[in-house]
Amino acid sequence: MEIQREQKQMAEELVKKHELEFAVVFGSQANGQTRKDSDLDIGILDPKPETYKRYGDLYNDFSKVFKGQNVDLRMIKGAEPVFLYNTLMKGKFLAGQRQIFSQYQAFAYKNFVDSKPLFELKEKLLLKRQKKINKMIKNVR
């Protein structure tokens, strides 16, 4: 699904109304690999505290802008490094303050690169554990 100019304008109005920093489209809609059942992934940076009511209001408003789409709204603040990297580096800016979006892209990249050795260590430890489990299973048979 191609996001229409009118939808971008409405998203811009929502970002202002809710005082968000920015909104970004990510996932299959951003990379052009959509299917019939693809949802619309939207990440938002909200400087205000997250509450169920606020999330519900944001979800309802974005769902009205993108009628007929299954909107999946994700909060960016406090997200893990891999999600943040994939969302901001591979996603498409939708609305809000582009300068803050660019700053967060730089932060996401640095955070991901700095965390990479930890991901590699985690993978190494998981593989080691998996080998141990496989050996235990083999000995039981």
Tell me the pLDDT band of 118, cut-offs 50, 70 and 90.
confident
CA atoms of 56 and 61, how far apart (whole Å): 9
Task: Name all domains of the chain by residue range, CATH numbers in brackets.
Answer: 5-115 (3.30.460.10)
| Structure tokens that stand for 101 in this block | 């979006």
Residues 6+ apart with CB under 8 A from 57: 18
CA atoms of 140 and 136, how far apart (whole Å): 6
**Does 50 score more than 80 pLDDT?**
yes
The per-residue pLDDT of the chain, averaged, comes to: 91
**Does 28 score more than 90 pLDDT?**
no
**Does 87 score more than 80 pLDDT?**
yes
Q: What is the pLDDT of residue 32?
A: 79
Task: Match 């938002």 to its residue by tokens.
Answer: 44
pTM: 0.79
Q: What is the pLDDT of residue 1?
A: 64
10 Å CB burial of residue 94 (0-12, 13-18, 19+) is buried
Terminal CA-CA length for the chain: 52
Helix (H, G, I), strand (E, B) or coil at 4: coil
Q: What is the pLDDT of residue 33?
A: 80
